[in-house]
């Protein structure tokens, strides 16, 4: 379930940019969060989650049934992934047992069922449920935090930028959420520092 893709992020009064979270579980973090991330909250109702799922890299189409219970699970899972990713990005592996249990609980549900159609196209048995989608997210998180990919979880190096991503580049040297945004800002700043007269 990985499509090389990104999401368009925008904030009021700022230029939008494309951001590739690198993997499904970190993409879910773009829907909001707790504390100062609450200002970005997009998941207020089950319908909000159902509307967001087709935008994600899961490639599930738009026939997703999300229940109120799924929304609760989604928010819990998202908070757990946020903490795990921040811990991993800081170089620590001191993950909270409760957060790992949250992943395991969601991953235990059956994931979406792949089907092959008459034109030999690969699709998902529909309707996909929110529980299945969250299982796919949790299984992705198990892969990421339970394997070598954990060393590739990074937080953008930009000042005041907290975007988390999985660095899937070959050399593993990705530093920025996006070159268009934090990468360029950094380049401009270093140029200014070198030539203060500019
Ligand atoms: Zn950034």
**What is the mean pLDDT of each successive set of 10 residues along the chain, which is 198 residues long?**
68 85 98 94 97 93 90 98 98 98 98 94 92 98 98 96 96 94 87 72
How far does residue 19's CA lie from ligand 1's centre (Å)? 9
How far does residue 6's CA lie from ligand 1's centre (Å)? 14
Residue ranges per domain, the chain? 17-194
**One CATH from 1.10.3300.10, 3.90.78.10, 3.40.50.2000, 3.30.465.10 for 17-194:** 1.10.3300.10
Q: Which two tokens stand for residue 143?
A: 């892969």
How far does residue 159's CA lie from ligand 1's centre (Å)? 8
How far does residue 176's CA lie from ligand 1's centre (Å)? 5
How far does residue 130's CA lie from ligand 1's centre (Å)? 30
Helix ranges restricted to H, 129-173: 130-145
Closest among 82, 48, 71 to 134, alpha carbons compared:
71
Residues 110, 33: Cα–Cα separation, whole Å: 25
| Secondary structure letter of residue 182 according to DSSP | I
pLDDT in tens, 14-68: 788 899 999 999 999 999 999 999 999 999 999 999 999 999 999 887 779 999 9
How far does residue 155's CA lie from ligand 1's centre (Å)? 8
How far does residue 180's CA lie from ligand 1's centre (Å)? 9
Residues 95, 192: Cα–Cα separation, whole Å: 39
In this prediction, residue 14 carries a pLDDT of 79
How many CB atoms neighbour CB 152 within 10 A?
18
Name the residue with tokens 């920025």. Answer: 176
How far does residue 158's CA lie from ligand 1's centre (Å)? 5
């Amino acid at each position: 379930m990985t499509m090389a893709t990104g999401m368009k992020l925008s904030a009021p009064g700022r230029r939008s940019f494309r951001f590739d979270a690198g993997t499904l579980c970190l993409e879910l973090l773009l829907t909001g969060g707790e504390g100062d991330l609450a200002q970005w909250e997009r998941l207020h109702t089950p319908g909000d989650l159902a509307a967001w799922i087709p935008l994600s890299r899961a490639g599930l189409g738009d026939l997703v049934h999300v229940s109120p219970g799924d929304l609760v699970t989604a928010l819990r899972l998202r908070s757990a992934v946020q903490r795990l990713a921040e811990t991993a990005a800081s170089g620590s592996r001191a993950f909270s047992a409760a957060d790992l249990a949250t992943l395991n609980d969601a991953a235990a549900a059956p994931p979406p069922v792949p089907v092959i159609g008459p034109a030999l196209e690969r699709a998902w048995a529909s309707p996909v449920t929110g529980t299945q989608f969250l299982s796919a997210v949790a299984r992705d998180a198990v892969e990421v935090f339970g394997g070598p990919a954990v060393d590739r979880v990074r937080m953008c190096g930009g000042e005041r930028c907290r975007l988390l991503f999985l660095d899937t580049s070959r050399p593993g040297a990705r530093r920025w959420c996006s070159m268009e945004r934090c990468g360029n800002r950094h380049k401009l700043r270093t140029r200014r520092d070198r030539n203060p007269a500019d």
